[in-house]
Amino acid sequence: SSEVSQPPSVSVSPGQTASITCSGDNLGQKYACWYQQKPGQSPLLLIYQDDQRPSGIPERFSGSKSGNTATLTISGTQAVDEADYYCQAWDGHTAPFGTGTKVSVL
Amino acid sequence: EVQMVQSGAELKEPGESLKISCKGSGYSFTTHWIAWVRQMPGKGLEWMGIIWPRDSDARYSPSFRGQVTFSVDKSVTTAYLQWSSLKAADTAIYYCARQADSGLDSWGQGTLVTVSS
């Protein structure tokens, strides 16, 4: 079973801000990263090392961490952002994924 | 361009063995861990473990240790995931991905493994 928890779903209106949390024991001592997965596609890395964005990822995606909770924020959410989002907690030895959050843009 | 290209879909019967592959290209194969990730039908991502191609040092998630085996062939820049005796519960999509900067930055297209009698 996953050691990292996320809310099952988040709903957001177009243009608004969506926030997805990721909580786990000792997450504060690990690096958090975030992935987006659309139906039928492989996951895409959005954020690594808590708050770093790979090249090519839109600036509306940002990451932060406070204590044992990491947060992915999508600012100005667009319809194309409707997808499943997963966090991952990396400590150099193991890297469990979170339970996943389905973001609906309504 | 970094690419991870996986082998095609497999249909197997319970008890059979299987080895699927993941070929890395466009980067130095021996300087990045390769991870394996399972996604069961309609479910989330599960981290199975990682392997260091330079010396085949493998680290398994407790959930998968003893159930699967990771290996690599540096000469063909390919990583492998194998089972000695498949079960119906192994039916899933299996992804390989390159580990970089504490994140999986390049993913294969996934290999669908179906185990059914």
**For B47, which of A31, A45, A95 is closest by C-beta distance?**
A95
What is the average pLDDT score of chain B?
Answer: 96
The answer to whether the Cβ–Cβ distance between A49 and B46 falls below 8 Å is: no
Per DSSP, B75 falls in state G
A24 shares contact with chain B (CB less than 8 Å): no
Share of chain A above pLDDT 90, in %: 89
Cα radius of gyration rounded to whole Å, chain A: 13
Q: Find residue A73's DSSP bridge partners.
A: A19, A62
Q: What was the pLDDT predicted at A1? A: 44
Q: What is the structure's pLDDT at A93? A: 76
Q: Which DSSP letter does residue B116 get?
A: -
Question: Over 90: is that where the pLDDT of A83 sits?
Answer: yes
CA-CA distance, A43 to A33, in Å (whole number)?
12
Tell if the CB–CB gap between B45 and A97 is shorter than 8 Å. Answer: yes
Of A33, A37, A97, the CB nearest to B102: A33
Residue type at position B103:
G
pLDDT at B102: 78
| Percentage above 90 pLDDT, chain B | 97
- Residue from B5, B38, B39, B45 to probe the interface with A (highest A Cβ count within 10 Å): B45
Q: Residues B61-89: what's their mean pLDDT? A: 97
CA B75 to chain centroid, in Å, comes to 18
- Reading the block at residue B104, the tokens are 């999986």
Determine the distance in angstroms separating the CA of B102 from the nearest CA of chain A, rounded to an integer.
6
Please check the confidence at residue A84 and state whether its pLDDT lies above 80. Answer: yes
Band of residue A65 on the pLDDT scale cut at 50, 70, 90:
very high
pLDDT of residue B92: 98
pLDDT given at position A3? 81
Q: How far is CA A9 from the centre of its chain?
A: 12
Residues 6 or more apart whose CB falls under 8 angstroms from that of A51 comprise: A62, A63, A64, A65
- Tell me whether residues A2 and B110 touch, CB distance under 8 A: no
pLDDT of residue A91: 81
For B19-69, write each residue's pLDDT tens digit. Answer: 999 999 999 999 999 999 999 999 999 999 999 999 999 999 999 999 999
Contact B45 A35 (CB under 8 A): yes
Cβ B47–A94 below 8 Å, yes or no?
A: yes
Query: With an 8 Å Cβ cutoff, are B110 and A93 in contact?
Result: no
Chain B CA closest to residue A86: B45
The pLDDT tens digits of the residues spanning A8-60 come to 999 999 999 999 999 998 899 999 999 999 999 999 999 999 999 999 999 99
| pLDDT, chain A, mean | 94
